[in-house]
Structures are given as C-alpha cells and as structure tokens.
Amino acid sequence: MKPEDLRQYSDEELFAKRNSLYTELFNLRTQVITGQLGNPKRIKEAKKDIARIYTILKERQLKNEKTKKR
C-alpha cells in the first residue's frame, strides 16, 4: 500500500488496518510453518505496511503537538 493512500484514512481506520495486518501477518507466519504459503513476499509487504502506518500516525501526533504549542 502506498503512503499517499494511507494518509487518506482517519486515525481510527489506520488502527483498524494495522490490526488486520497483524492478523494477516500471524496467518502468513502460520502458513510458512505448515508449508502452505504461496507468496513469501507478502510477509515483507505486510511488515512494511505496518511500519508505514506507524510512521503516518507518528507524523500526525507530532503535527498535533506542534500546533498545540502555538
């Protein structure tokens, strides 16, 4: 998922997306153990998407703190 797409979501939607990605990542890791994973690149993509969500949430938090100080 591209960062531009993620920035369109609200904070609540980002938290929900993050939770669903964690669930997907858990399921992908389970598939690796059982030997059923068809696309191993999806694990890396899910991790990067989670990191992107955390980055966007942190940017928003810092922006809010900066505006409160003024």
Whether residue 41 is contained in a domain is answered as yes
Whether residue 1 is contained in a domain is answered as no
Take residue 63 and report the two structure tokens written for it: 């922006």
CATH of the domain at 50: 1.10.287.310
Count of CB atoms situated within 10 Å of the CB of 43: 16
Q: Could you give the 3-state DSSP secondary structure of residue 70?
A: coil
Whether residue 3 is contained in a domain is answered as no
Tens-place pLDDT, residues 1-60? 899 999 999 999 999 999 999 999 999 999 999 999 989 999 999 999 999 999 999 999
Whether residue 57 is contained in a domain is answered as yes
Domain that holds residue 34: 9-69
Phi, psi of 38 (to 5 degrees): -90, -35
What does pTM read for this prediction?
Answer: 0.89
Q: How many domains does the chain fold into? A: 1
